[in-house]
């Protein structure tokens, strides 16, 4: 069984004052028996050095260094204290035009820096309604996940774009169908594909977490809005521990 992972993506939220939420989370979950990852904005990564949780970046540049004003390399994230980085989040794909080839390059950069890549994939509402969800997932898996991926350096996050930040969640059957499909593709392609963690993301909260974690091949969650406050993230972690 892959080790379970509760991952929080703070997106472009959080000032130093908000680190108090990590201290509160530590009181309740400092010795949790699931992995806990917090991806704060880059500006806060080094300020998180005392937390017991894993820390991750939300994006990285594919090159190691150079004339790329405003960008941050995977090595810089690692140097600041990160052990993970999210790649290919739908907000990056949409807001910054990132392609799956870009995501694969960023993920390879993550591996080179010793980071675990949390590679995000997921269909839009139009794609779901058009019946192409699994084809979209296949193309994104093929294009975004490097051949050098393995269960140690890679986590896959299935995040239907229409479920992110909307309060809309797929049915458990829909989640199960996509996760089983991803598992099959991973096991076909990678010798340790059964061990690769597959997270669900998109409007996960305390009230729906237990149901989502009961679905086969859901090894945890990538949580946006509900990861910002310890009181909201805590029940999700507890649900994962009890799943």
Q: Which residues are catalytic?
A: 89, 159
The token pair at 36 is 């806990």
What are the φ and ψ backbone dihedral angles of 28, each rounded to 5 degrees? -90, -30
User: End-to-end alpha-carbon separation of the chain, Å?
Assistant: 12
Residues of span 6-25 touching ligand PGA by CB under 6 A:
9
To which residue do tokens 């909201």 refer? 232
Q: How far is the CB of 63 from ligand PGA (least distance, A)?
A: 25
Identity of the residue, 146 or 201, whose beta carbon is nearer to ligand PGA in the bound complex: 201
> Which residue of the chain is nearest ligand PGA when measured via CB?
224
List the one residue from 36, 72, 223, 237 that touches ligand PGA (CB under 6 A).
223
- 222 makes contact with ligand PGA (CB under 6 A): yes
Sole window of 12-20, 139-147, 190-198, 217-225 interacting with ligand PGA (rule: CB under 6 A): 217-225
Helix axes 172-189, 206-213, angle to 10 degrees: 50
To which residue do tokens 């859901």 refer? 218
Identity of the residue, 178 or 226, whose beta carbon is nearer to ligand PGA in the bound complex: 226
Q: Is 212 helix (H, G, I), strand (E, B) or coil?
A: helix
Q: How far is the CB of 8 from ligand PGA (least distance, A)?
A: 9
Work out the number of other CB atoms within 10 angstroms of the CB of residue 28.
15
Q: What is the Cα–Cα distance from 111 to 212, expressed in whole angstroms?
A: 29
List the one residue from 58, 107, 144, 203 that touches ligand PGA (CB under 6 A).
203
Sole window of 178-186, 187-195, 219-227, 231-239 interacting with ligand PGA (rule: CB under 6 A): 219-227
Residue from 144, 188, 140, 185 nearest 160 by CA? 140
- 201 makes contact with ligand PGA (CB under 6 A): yes
- 170 makes contact with ligand PGA (CB under 6 A): no
Helix axes 100-112, 133-144, angle to 10 degrees: 40
The site map against ligand PGA for 128-167 (x = CB under 6 A) is: -------------------------------x----xx--
């Amino acid at each position: 069984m892959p080790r379970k992972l509760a991952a929080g993506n703070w997106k472009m939220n959080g000032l130093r004052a908000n680190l108090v939420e990590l201290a509160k989370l530590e009181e309740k979950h400092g010795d949790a028996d699931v992995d806990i990852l917090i991806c704060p904005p880059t500006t806060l990564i080094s300020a998180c050095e005392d937390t017991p949780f894993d820390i991750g970046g939300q994006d990285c540049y594919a090159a190691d260094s150079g004339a790329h004003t405003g960008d941050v390399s995977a090595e810089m994230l690692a140097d600041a204290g990160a052990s993970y980085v999210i790649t290919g989040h739908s907000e990056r794909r949409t807001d910054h035009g990132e392609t799956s080839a870009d995501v694969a390059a960023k993920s390879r950069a993550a591996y080179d820096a010793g980071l675990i890549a949390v590679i995000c994939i997921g269909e839009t509402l139009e794609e779901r309604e058009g019946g192409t969800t699994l084809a979209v997932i296949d193309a994104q898996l093929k294009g975004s996940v490097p051949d050098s991926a393995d269960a140690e350096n890679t986590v896959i996050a299935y995040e239907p774009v229409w479920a992110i930040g909307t309060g809309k969640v797929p049915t458990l059957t829909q989640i199960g169908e996509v996760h089983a499909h991803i598992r099959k593709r991973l096991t076909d392609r990678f010798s340790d594909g059964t061990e690769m963690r597959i997270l669900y993301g998109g409007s996960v909260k305390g009230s729906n977490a237990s149901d989502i974690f009961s679905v086969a091949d859901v090894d945890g969650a990538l949580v946006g809005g509900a990861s910002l406050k310890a009181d909201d993230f805590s029940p999700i972690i507890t649900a994962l521990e009890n799943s």
